[in-house]
Structure 1
Amino acid sequence: MPSPSVVTVHLILGSTVSMVVPARVVESGEDGLLLWVAPGTPLWRATIPPGTHLRDLPPEGSYPLRADRWRHGGALILQPAGAGHAVWWSFTMEQEFRSWYVNLESRVHSPDGADVHVTDQELDITVTPDRAWEWKDEDSFAAKTGHPVYWTPAEAAAIRTEGIRVTHLIDSATYPFDGTWCDFRPPESWPLPELPPLGTPEAEPGEGA
């Protein structure tokens, strides 16, 4: 079966789908996936009150999906096979490298490889271009630990251990923090992917931006 050229990434926090975004496949192999999300990519986003973040809202709430677009500069997303994290390269609208972002997560791929369901584990790491790093969302991570929708204390310890393992790569300037892909330029021939179908009754179409 040929590998798909676009993968639909379902981003999930707890029991809530926060975003469904199509991403172009840059590389695919036994080592994992490298994906590209271009500025303006159409996507589905959870509808939440203005000025709030999904991490701060009750997990049992109803947050229907609405059509939207990727409102940032482009992002490369490395999903290493078998790892409990992803590494994001963030770019400006002018395609200048801005920073790395380490998302601690678990992933499940569909049999045909066309979809990947990413469950966010809240704890993240921000990394500047000179490889200065810091933990992100530690308080929220701690508050969710032990909640039945999220992770147990034992799972929380394993999540942090995975993050510590990544910090060693950062400190040693080892791939993917060695400068690779920081000069990435997507081919001009790549069109924006189409808004993916959802197949779920909770989706509510809306206007893109």
Structure 2
Amino acid sequence: MSGPVLRPGQTVVRREIMRGEPWIAIPQVCVQDDGDLLVTYTPGGTPLAYPASGTFPVGEHPWKLAGSTAWRGHGRLELHWTGVEHSLFLFWSGPERTFQGWYLNLEDAPRRTAIGFDTLDHELDVWWAADAETYEFKDVVEFEETGPARYPGRMDAIRAEGARIARLLDAGDLWWDKAWADWTPDPSWRPRDVPPGWESVPYEGR
């Protein structure tokens, strides 16, 4: 994941690039960046940005179609590794900010940009609830239905990444620090905005 190392507290724009076009942008906060592991946080209330125009070969982003304009709840923590085709999401809920579990989100390995990084969600996910003995795959049917159009020629590779994750988990091999479950955000961090012109920032295609 080449590019300048980001500073804690710096705004990081997560963009998804779908079939050669920006699809959605989420302005996040840099928690940690060592050049290999990039950790970002999306505060509750963060605005979700969608491109004003495009050809949208597979349709506009589902969240836009559902009318979603901002991130809700306690926020989302994301761990991204250089060259790895998934990230790890952490969620909390309720007045006590109770940890909910580990969400392995299959997606493009992060590609640095001038405003943050680009990726693309692959629909297929692995969820391990905090109170569960094991994990489960999520959105399998949706992936099989939408994948051929969204990720042409990449379906087998995405399935293989899901299988690789399952093998590691079955072997008890956790590649992240479980202490992240106890992480709390800096109380001064507020929702960020995407910078003007975010749609035209150059990107590296897949």
TM over 0.5: yes
Q: Say if 2:44 and 2:191, in contact at 8 Å, map to a contact too.
A: no
- Which residue of 2 is the match for residue 103 of structure 1? 105
Question: After TM superposition, where is structure 1 displaced by more than 4 Å over at least 4 residues in a row?
Answer: 12-18, 62-67
Equivalents in 2 of 1:146, 1:24: separation in Å? Answer: 33
Which digits, 9 at most, give the CA deviation of each residue in 1:136-172, with x for residues without a partner?
Answer: 222222223443x4221xx212112212222234331
Equivalents in 1 of 2:20, 2:178: separation in Å? Answer: 35
Q: Say if 2:42 and 2:76, in contact at 8 Å, map to a contact too.
A: yes
Kindly indicate which of the two structures has a greater share of residues assigned to helix: 2
**By how many angstroms is 1:18 displaced?**
4.7
Gap change, CA 1:159 and 1:67, over 3 Å in 2: closer
Gaps of 5+ in 1: 48-57, 202-209
Q: Which amino acid aligns with 2:6?
A: S
What SS is found at the alignment partner of 1:165?
helix
Q: Find the partner of 1:33 among 15, 33, 38.
A: 38
Q: Which amino acid aligns with 2:26?
A: V
**By how many angstroms is 1:69 displaced?**
2.1
Equivalents in 1 of 2:37, 2:164: separation in Å? Answer: 18
Gap change, CA 1:193 and 1:119, over 3 Å in 2: same
Gaps of 5+ in 2: 200-206
- Which residue of 1 is the match for residue 175 of structure 2? 175
The yes-or-no answer on 1:23 pairing with 2:25 is no
Q: Which amino acid aligns with 2:195?
A: P
Q: Which amino acid aligns with 2:197?
A: G
Aligned length: 185
- Which residue of 2 is the match for residue 185 of structure 1? 184
Equivalents in 1 of 2:165, 2:123: separation in Å? Answer: 15
Q: Which one is further off, 164-173 or 30-39? A: 164-173
Structure 2 counterparts to residues 115-154 of structure 1, below 5 A: 115-129=116-130, 130=132, 132-147=134-149, 149-152=150-153
TM-score, normalisation: structure 2: 0.74
- Which residue of 2 is the match for residue 7 of structure 1? 12
**By how many angstroms is 1:105 displaced?**
0.9
TM-score, normalisation: structure 1: 0.73
CA RMSD of aligned residues (A): 3.1
Q: Say if 1:90 and 1:97, in contact at 8 Å, map to a contact too.
A: yes
Which digits, 9 at most, give the CA deviation of each residue in 1:90-113, with x for residues without a partner?
Answer: 111542211211111113211x4x
- Which residue of 2 is the match for residue 91 of structure 1? 92
- Which residue of 2 is the match for residue 54 of structure 1? none
- Which residue of 2 is the match for residue 196 of structure 1? 194
Gap change, CA 1:8 and 1:43, over 3 Å in 2: same
Equivalents in 1 of 2:84, 2:195: separation in Å? Answer: 28
Kindly indicate which of the two structures has a greater share of residues assigned to strand: 1
Q: Say if 1:74 and 1:92, in contact at 8 Å, map to a contact too.
A: no
Q: Say if 1:19 and 1:46, in contact at 8 Å, map to a contact too.
A: yes
